[in-house]
Structures are given as structure tokens and as C-alpha cells.
A and B are shown apart, each in its own frame.
Chain A
Amino acid sequence: MAAKTPSMRSLSRYLLRPQASLHPRCHAKPHSKPYSAAAAGARLNVPLEYDSTPLLHHTSKSALANPELPEHIRKGQTKRINLYTAVNEALRHALQTDERVLVFGEDIQFGGVFRCTMNLAADFGTDRVFNTPLSEQGLVGFAIGAAAEGMRPVAEVQFADYVFPAFDQIHNEAAKYRYRSGSTGVHCGGLTIRMPCGSVGHGALYHTQSPEALFTHTPGLRVVVPRSPVQAKGLLLSSIRCADPVIFMEPKILYRAAVEQVPVDAYHLPLDKAEVLKTGSDVTIVSYGTPLYTCSAAIAAAEKDFGCSVELIDLRTIYPWDRETVLNSVRKTGRAIVVHESMMNAGVGAEVAATIQEQAFLRLEAPVKRVAGWATHTGLVFEKIIIPDVTRVYDAIKKTIDY
């Protein structure tokens, strides 16, 4: 059979010449482009430059200047790694230092579909790092039970889009375990549920979603979204140590795209503090995860074009969120914009905007603007007009300042 099958090479000869027509008579060039490309004349909506973005620590010195890091870490070494490696390092440290930590999920044993669990099964054994059958409901419920008996399970759901079979377990069980157990004191606080989330440009309906707002609408959970390798490592370690169940959502486009200098040793970052990434005086932008890079690019263009000064805040923890940092900033700037990928209606932006309205109303110079996903699903070829881009954030800054 093998000999009679046309070779891959001959089959692909046509395909390897993208401009070549199948029919010699027809010279029309295909006018469709590769599935993700910037417009030819674009100035704002150009690919994000992760190599030079101020949001990532490109030098060891900058990474170690972080005042949130403990003294001994700030005197230590760093290494340039991407976000999935940072997750891997955090899991490795947790497995090494706490025998109660378990790591499991679908396909994690060979390293996981995003490589976050590389070599962990080999190094820590399949009693502690293992594949589960394909059932989010099953594996999350399993994690809750293990946590309720004292373990520290880190369960991986392969995509945030696939967490919904486990929604009952998360919303009705993990979140309510401590409360319903009353004075028995039993809880499942050692539980961390990791999941990749967010858009990558071609994930369509089921590989794009950011369902964080659904979890922030559930009392009893903590919801964390790291923006970078440094953040991912420190926040994940804090999540695993935390005595509340944590939903840890990793923006999957950043797994490889976000590369920075990360302290080699383990450290913990706070689970209730936002971080001011850039100070400014005219408008505050509140965001988290991938859109922070979009915001940073939009801010650079807007500050240049409008001569304004924009403050950028990473919420980091979406619940509990750091109201004080956000309110202090808005009291200073008098204007606020909230940016996230998921749908606007009843999203995190609604909560942030409502809080600002309640507690900084008299200081506001303009309505709080939301730049978010539109009220629709993320259709494959429409993603670029649905997910917030640099242009929309840039325009929001302009409109908010001009209001």
C-alpha cells in the first residue's frame, strides 16, 4: 500500500506554490490571505510586539526590581522563560515542597496540550501526576473530594471552553463546601483549577472563551488571571497555597508569546492586589490578561497623539479584586476604561464600572467606558472585529478624554 500511495511530497507540490494556479489558463491570484494578518496600512492594529512591550521584564534587573518579591528573591538569579514554562516551574516547586500536591487532568501526563506539565509525571511519578479520563465533571469533582480530604490538587481543564460540564461541581460544590459544612470545618480550600483561556485569532466558538465573569458571580471562589511568566509563577504558587478554591485562568496566547526574565527560585504574589503597571494622570485603564498588551500599545499611541497620560492597572485577581487600587487611581485621573475579551453584558467591566460609579462618582469627568467583546459568539472569521483591539482601546481613550 505504502508504495502505491502517492507521496506526500508529490501531493503537496501544488500547495507549496501558493501563487500557482491549478489551471494554467487561470491567472487569478487568490485574494484570501493567511487567516490572521494585519491590514496593510494599519498603524494601531499591528501585531503586538512582545519582544519590546514594557509589560514584560526583558532584563534581569527589571524583574528583580519588583517590590512584591521577597528580599532573598530580589538578590537571586533570573532566567528568561515563557508562560507555560513558568506554570511548569510553579507546579514543579509545589510538587517538590508539598507532598499533598497532586497534578492531574486530560492529557497532562505527556506534558499537556500546551506543555505546562512537561516532565512532571516522569519526575514525580504517576501517583501524583496523572492523566484522567476525559470528563471535566469527573476530574473536577475528584479534585474537590481529594481537597476535602486534605490534599492540594491542581486540576487542569484542557480549555476554559470545556469547563462547563464541571460547572455544577465548581459552582455548587467547590464554592459552597466550606459554607455548608458549617462548624464541621470541612472545606476544599486546597483546590486549584487551571484552565487556558482567551482568544488566539482562530479558535472560533469553542477555543476562545474567557468565562471569568461566570466564576466571579459565584461566592466562594477566587479567580486569578496572570498576564506574564513572572505573574503566572508567583500567582499560581499562591493559588496552590491558598485555603480557598481558586480558578486559575491562563491566557493561552501568552503561553509562548510572553517571554521574560523570571526569578529562578520560588516566590508568592498576593491574591488580592491589583498592580499599577504604568502611572498616569488623565485616565485609568483597568484590565487583566492578554488585553493588557493591547492596552499598552494603545496607550503608547494615544499618549503620543493626544499628549495625554494614561494609567494602566492589571487586576490580576478578578475576585476578590483590589477595589482600593482602582478607586485611588480613578480618584486621581477622574476617568476610567475597563477592557476585557469576554462579552460586555454582565462582564467584569460592569462590576468595576458600577463600583467606580458608587464610590468615585463625584470625581468622574466622563462615564466609565467598557471595551469588551460584543454581544455575540466568536465566529471564526469575525474574531478580529469582536475581540477588543488596539484601535478600539485607542478610540476609547480619545473619547473618554474628549468627553
Chain B
Amino acid sequence: MPPTLVLFPGALNSEFTNTLSFLRPSKSKDAIPTYRCLNQYGEIIDKSVGADTTDQEALELYKNMVTLSIMDLLMFEAQRQGRLSFYMVSAGEEGISIGSASALHPSDVVFTQYRESGVYLQRGFTLTQFMNQLFANSSDNGLGRNMPVHYGSKELNIHTISSTLATQIPHAAGAAYALKLQNSGVVGRIGSPSASADEKEVERVAVCFFGEGAASEGDFHSALNIAATRQVPCIFICRNNGYAISTPTSDQYRGDGIAARGAGYGIDTLRVDGNDIFAVRRAVKQARRLALEDGGRPVLVECMAYRVGHHSTSDDSFAYRQKIEVEDWKRRDNPLTRLRKWMEGRGLWDDAKEKELRSSTRKEVLKAFETAEKQKKPNIKNAFTDVWEHVTEEQRAHMAEMADILQRYPKEYDLDGYEGGAKGLEELLQKK
């Protein structure tokens, strides 16, 4: 007898069965495979596919990964010395952010969590822009309001980072829906007026980065579900680095990582080796194609990694993991060494070039560092603007009260380091 399809509206492709058999994923040893192009010795596994990257592109990717890691080392140390209040490094995850960003179109809209500085770097955020934000100076486009590493860039189509976890994931789904309507012409293209004619023709996707810890938040689940039901062109990129601050993945979930959840929401999914930048690039390129097929659909890419650094400068990870575990990982594999081995194998790279790159990059970072640190802080009026579109009457009263305090107690406040000094509020109060 042929199998009978059920007619229940909630599971239309199901067949009736008379076998009582629970799905028991915890009893299964099968796991979703992890895609890679390069083995850990930097050798191409499938010669017919190759690296899918030109030598020039590979050199640029490597340069950006080195820049990110040097900036991280310096800024982590700078925080330790009290030069800035906070920092977060990307160690071990440089390939994910830089590789995936390199596979996107510049006009694609990106939402990040907080460990994706590489996306900014790859898209053209300059060292000066990084340093301006980190030192919250008057050139910081966040106007000194955010904690360090909470970058944002309208020009680069990356939304400003929030410290809250996973809140960006449903935003990405909604943004992707906005792009879907604009891609299909239901709504005219809304976007940066500076975009070239060529860029205006390009269909866009939204891209969302998050960690495996954030994927436990309700926002993740709601985001994937609504993205699937609205069939939005969104690439969800999970950085599964093994730890959410101290919490290991064994306390975070019991399924087969984050990738296993994609199927549950009816979303095309791939798991990738995050230490293999070529694999990340190929995966995201393909994800982008899929995301734009048939008007749009969400895609989930889980990039596997190991968080080599502490969670942030506020964390000492040796309180919850063995130093040897970290040292082993550093020795075994990481995205920089993997790519470097490949470049050396092709005769593109050697010790002399490495030394030169690191030395010149270090100088560039320090130059940007020094200039940004010296610069004044933003005008104190920025404390009150942009809460609402216009300053409210109550805010005016508050500003007047504070301006009065600043005027009567000048010695109690050192605002010389701010543009406009203690007079900043008065400027705004005088404006009608």
C-alpha cells in the first residue's frame, strides 16, 4: 500500500506510519558535517574547486587579518593600562568576519554582535575610524555615547552595535524584508544617495552575525521563524566559538550546534570551518546566491571556531578554562596560520614579508591610536541630543539646570577635554 500523506495543515508532507518511533537526536552520533577547502596544513583539499580566491585577494584578506590581530593586541594592552575603558578581541575568529565580509556586496546591509571588527575592517572602516570610536573622541560617529567596540557605519551599511545580545537578529530579518520589497521593485530603492548606478542595480541581502550563546535568546528563534515565513533574503551567520563568556556549549544547548536549528525553521543551512577563510568565503558567496533566489529566502551559516581570547577585557577566562586548552588551540589551528601556510605553499609569502607587514601595520595602528587619543571628546550637548528627534521641553529644563550647575560650580567639573568645554549645553539651549 502506498504511504498516505497526512492532511493536517501543520505538517503537509508527513506520511502516516504505524511505527511508534521518537526522533532521538541525543541517541544519534550523526552530526552535520563541517565544510572546508583547506586542511590545517594549508593545503587545498579539492583541487577542482581550489581556493576560489585570487592571490591578490588572498593577500588582502591576510593583511586584514593581521591588522585586526595587531589592533586587538595593542588595544587589549591599552585597556589594561587604563587608556580606554573596555575592549574585545577577535582572536581565533578573524577568518569568519573578514572572510564572510569579503563575500558580500558592499551594499548588503550588515548587523553585527560585537566580535566582528573584521567585517568593519574588510568593508573599509579605517584604523582612524576604529580609534576614534575606541577613544570616544569628537570624530567618533557614535558621538562618544557608546562603549568601545560598538562601531557603526552608514557608509559601509553596518548598523551600530548594541551591547544587548541577539536583539539584532530580528532586526536583520526585518531589514531583509525591506530589501526584499526594494529588490523586487514593490517599493523603490531606499538607501545611500552616494551609491553608484551599478550598486543601485544590485539586489541586496541583509546579513546578521551572532554567537552561539546569543542563539539561546528568544530573539534568535523569533528571527529565524519570521525570516522563514516572510522568505526574506537574510544570511544568518553564527560564530560558534565554544564559549558564551564562561558558559561552554555543553551548558548552552544539547542539539547539534546552531546549524541543526536551521532545518527546524525550514531554512537552508551549512556548517563551516571558521579557521578556513576560503571555506567561509565560498559558503557565504553561495549563501548570498541562495538568499536571493526566487525573490528571497533566509540562509543559516554556522562557522565553527574557538574563542582564543578572553570574552572581553572585563573577563579572565582562566577562571573557568584551562590555560593549556587555549594554548593547545592556538598551536593546533587558527585562521591566520592556515591562510599563511597556503600562501607560503604558493610562494606568495615568507618570513621577511611577514616581518615587514607586522612592523608597518603596528606603526599604522599606533599612529592612528596616538592621534585619536589626543583628540578632544565630543561636545557635551551630545549627551542630550538624539534621544528623541527633537529635544523635549523637559530635556531643555534639565539642560538648563545642568548648565546652571556647571556655571556656578566650574571647579567641580573638568570639561576642558570636551569640544566647547562646559559651554556645550548653552549652545544647544540658545538654539530654538
A65-73, A94-102, A131-139, A239-247: which one contacts chain B?
A: A131-139
Question: Does A345 lie at the interface of the complex (its beta carbon under 8 Å from any beta carbon of B)?
Answer: yes
With A16-B81, A134-B216, A385-B413 already in contact, the answer to whether A106 and B73 are too (CB < 8 A) is: no
Whether B383 pairs with A134 at a CB distance below 8 angstroms is: no
Beta-carbon contact of A204 and B147 below 8 Å: yes
Taken residue by residue from 409 to 425, chain B's Cβ proximity to chain A (1 for < 8 Å, 0 otherwise) reads as: 10111111110000000
Question: A88: CB under 8 A from chain B?
Answer: no
Look across to chain B and name the residue whose beta carbon is closest to the beta carbon of A162: B164
Which of A42, A345, A376 has the most C-beta atoms of chain B within 10 angstroms of its own C-beta?
A: A376
Compute how far the CA of A384 lies from the CA of B402 in the bound complex, rounded to whole angstroms: 11
Interface size class of B (residues with CB under 8 A): 35 or more
Query: Which residues in B have their C-beta under 8 angstroms from that of A109?
Result: 246-247, 251, 320
- Do A22 and B366 have beta carbons less than 8 Å apart? yes
Does B89 belong to the interface (CB within 8 Å)? Answer: no
Flag if A40 contacts B387 (CB, 8 Å): no
Structural contact, B398 and A375, CB atoms closer than 8 A: yes
- Whether A379 pairs with B83 at a CB distance below 8 angstroms is no
| B414 & A40 in contact (Cβ 8 Å cutoff) | yes
Give the size category of A's interface with B: 35 or more
Contact assessment for A28 and B246 in the assembled complex, using a CB-CB cutoff below 8 Å: no
Does B405 contact A395, Cβ atoms closer than 8 Å? yes
Quick check: is B197 within 8 A (CB to CB) of the other chain? Answer: no
**With A34-B82, A134-B165, A202-B85 given, is the CB distance from A375 to B247 under 8 Å?**
no
Task: Provide the bound-state CA to CA distance between A124 and B288, in Å.
Answer: 49
The dominant DSSP class at the A interface is loop
* Docked CA distance A132–B217 (Å): 11
Is A185 part of the contact surface with B, judged by Cβ < 8 Å? no
**Contact (A375, B216) CB under 8 Å given A15-B74, A31-B417:** no
Q: Footprint of B on A, CB under 8 Å?
A: 1-2, 4, 6, 8, 11-12, 14-16, 18, 21-23, 28, 30-35, 37-45, 106-107, 109-111, 113, 130-138, 161-162, 164-165, 202-207, 344-345, 374-377, 379-382, 384-386, 389-392, 395
**B interface list, Cβ under 8 A from A:** 70, 73-74, 77-78, 81-86, 135-137, 143-147, 150, 162-165, 213-214, 216-219, 244-247, 251-253, 314-315, 319-320, 330-331, 334, 336-337, 340, 351, 354-355, 358, 362-363, 366-367, 369-370, 373-378, 380, 382-384, 387, 392, 394-395, 398-399, 402, 405-406, 408-409, 411-418
Interchain Cβ contacts under 8 Å between A and B, 27 examples? A1-B340, A6-B358, A11-B74, A15-B78, A30-B373, A32-B377, A44-B409, A45-B413, A109-B251, A113-B314, A131-B251, A134-B247, A138-B216, A165-B218, A165-B219, A204-B147, A344-B398, A376-B384, A376-B398, A379-B146, A379-B383, A380-B136, A380-B144, A380-B146, A381-B377, A389-B412, A395-B409
The 10 closest A-B pairs by CB, nearest first: A206-B163, A382-B383, A39-B414, A379-B145, A202-B85, A133-B216, A110-B320, A41-B411, A381-B144, A374-B398
